[in-house]
Amino acid sequence: MATYSLSIYRITVNRRNEPDKLLPLDCLDNDVDLLSVIDGMLTRWHSERYHHSTSPYNGPLRDRRVARIRQNADGSFSHHRLGRYISGIVESGSYGTEESIINTDSGEVRHRKQKDEAQMVPFYFCFHIPANSKSGYLVLERIGNNGIFTMMSEAIGQEVMCKVSYRSVIKTEPFVIDDILNNNISLIIDPRKVFLRGVKHSAFSGGLPLETLAGNSVSAEIVLSVSPQHTSPIRSLLLDLIGRYRKRQPLVVDNIECSDVAFQVKIGNKTRKVSVARLDMLGTCMDVTYKVEIENNGYPSYESLHREACRLLSM
């Protein structure tokens, strides 16, 4: 069964080489409004296609994707602006490879997807850029482990560079909401392992053999097995470590100091590894699998996703 979730991100714009100097998003250089810049980009996606790809340095292109705004059966586009909000559906798909599309009952090949063809999957998005604010917000849908964050953040960055100023740098970063964080922690079950990361050599009596090669820079990862029955203590430990991390206090487990602590647990029906240093893995993502309505195409409806996104933005 597919799972559906909504993740929230914070949008800021700063001067290049001045990361702490944030600009009001509705009044950037030349009085440009970021919301209008984004609206113009998405309007072009009605008729144009945005291409995104990743590649290692001087290596072959990987993960080539194409995106556009979905056109509905009545000819309208799933792109809505209301006040300081823009929401809709972006269709995105990978291309560059060939695959067979078969009938699942008979096994008959119905179509051979070519390298210049893409299977377009619909993903919900919502931008909220308040007036007179230096922070805006973006909500994006994820289907399983698939989403459009990288593609969307890259596209916005290019748009700001071209339409605003090369001196302006836009950042789109995970935004942790405590209510989501605490709710996801309450859903943790079946803990299996605890990973103590960045443990210094001084934690080991007698030191490590590698100390002679690397000196005091030697560190290690300790893996502790946990009984699945210890769910409550693991939740309490995670909350305590999060509090320490936010106060910039040392992370200590069983008198062992480390740079980060991760936990292998189940949240709902999914096994995940959650890290104290990466709170965005827990505090930015809201599962909506059982709260959305599925349309005839097998994907959640825009209306039900928008309802849940508004609830997320109100937290």
- Segment 290-308 shows an average pLDDT of 97
- Segment 202-213 shows an average pLDDT of 54
- How far apart CA 294 and CA 302 sit, in angstroms, is 10
| Total residues found in the chain within this entry | 315
pLDDT tens across 100-139, in order? 999 999 889 998 989 889 899 999 999 999 999 999 999 9
pLDDT tens across 179-196, in order? 999 998 888 888 889 999
pLDDT of residue 306: 98
3-state class (DSSP) for residue 155: helix
**DSSP letter (8 states) at residue 175:** -
Instruction: State residue 31 phi and psi, 5-degree precision.
Output: 60, 30
Residue 201 pLDDT level (bands cut at 50, 70, 90): low
pLDDT tens across 73-101, in order? 999 999 999 999 999 999 999 888 888 99
pTM: 0.85
Mean confidence (pLDDT) of the chain? 88
Residue pointed to by tokens 């936010």: 246
Query: Cβ(16)–Cβ(169) under 8 Å?
Result: yes
pLDDT of residue 62: 65
Lowest-confidence pick of 10-19, 95-104, 267-276: 267-276
CA angle in degrees (0–180, nearest 5) for 203-206-211: 80
pLDDT > 80? residue 71: yes
Q: How far apart are the first and last CA of the chain?
A: 28
pLDDT of residue 218: 58
pLDDT of residue 167: 82
- How far apart CA 239 and CA 226 sit, in angstroms, is 17
